[in-house]
Amino acid sequence: RLLQDEGQFLDERPDTDEPSFVMHWVGELYPIWVKESNNGFSISSTTFKGFVDADGTEMCLEPVQRPANFQPRRTLLSMRTTHVVQPFLSKIWAHRQLMSAELSVKQLSLAANELWLFHGTRESAAECITENEFQVRMAGSNRGTMFGPGIYLADSVTKSDEYTDPDPTGLRTMILCRCTMGRAIRQEGGGRECMKVCQAGGFHSVKGRRAYNEYIVYDENQVYPEYIIWYRRVYNIE
């Protein structure tokens, strides 16, 4: 009965009241409701929700907010609490090691703040970049330059996808790059002052913190275009 009460406020909980299973983690029990879809399974619990793909190769978990009228209660292990035990403080992704690939025999340099980042563009531009390297003088030829003329990258494929254009068959292109960020300026808004600070010395790049993280460098030598990714958007309409 307690498990059923715990799940009453969940928006994505399946029709059944009984949880699919109970998870023991960090000294607490969490009822888990699982709902199957065409491409995987959605997971709902008392303080987090998530998704597992159909092949079980990738998983995403993120916290959920309890209702404003939440009252102190006893946990499933009968411990008195006035707060919510939250195992996930932010959205996280995980994958099975067997399903991952080594992108390069040379490991990223942590000392140089080297990252794998995405760059969305047209197919013709992607092939030109991989053959001739990036060119800062071409900055802004596809989209704007909020942080000044530089090479713009992202750690989210969703963000980089915004800068792609499909061919007649719907095929899009994105470049996976090794980027040496070095000492980065964290910039919340737009403006070219950050570019001037980098060029004056002391910093090597800018990390724009908006809806998605953006990474900007002003020296072509800091970015190596390692792979071209061809893909199509898949719209999951139920």
pLDDT, tens digit (0-9, with 9 covering 90-100), for 31-57 = 788 888 777 888 888 778 888 887 777
Give the position of tokens 């299973």: 21
Token pair in block for residue 73: 């209660």
Query: What is the C-alpha separation between 114 and 127, in angstroms, rounded?
Result: 23
- Output b/e per residue, 160-171; b: 16+ Cβ within 10 A: beebbeeeeeee
User: Tens of pLDDT along the chain (238 residues)?
Assistant: 444 454 444 444 445 567 777 777 666 777 788 888 777 888 888 778 888 887 777 888 888 776 666 554 545 555 545 455 667 777 787 776 665 667 777 888 889 999 999 999 999 899 999 888 888 776 655 565 788 888 999 999 999 999 999 999 999 999 999 999 999 988 877 677 788 888 788 899 999 887 789 999 998 999 999 999 999 988 765 5
Single pTM value for the model: 0.58
pLDDT, tens digit (0-9, with 9 covering 90-100), for 123-164 = 989 999 988 888 877 665 556 578 888 899 999 999 999 999
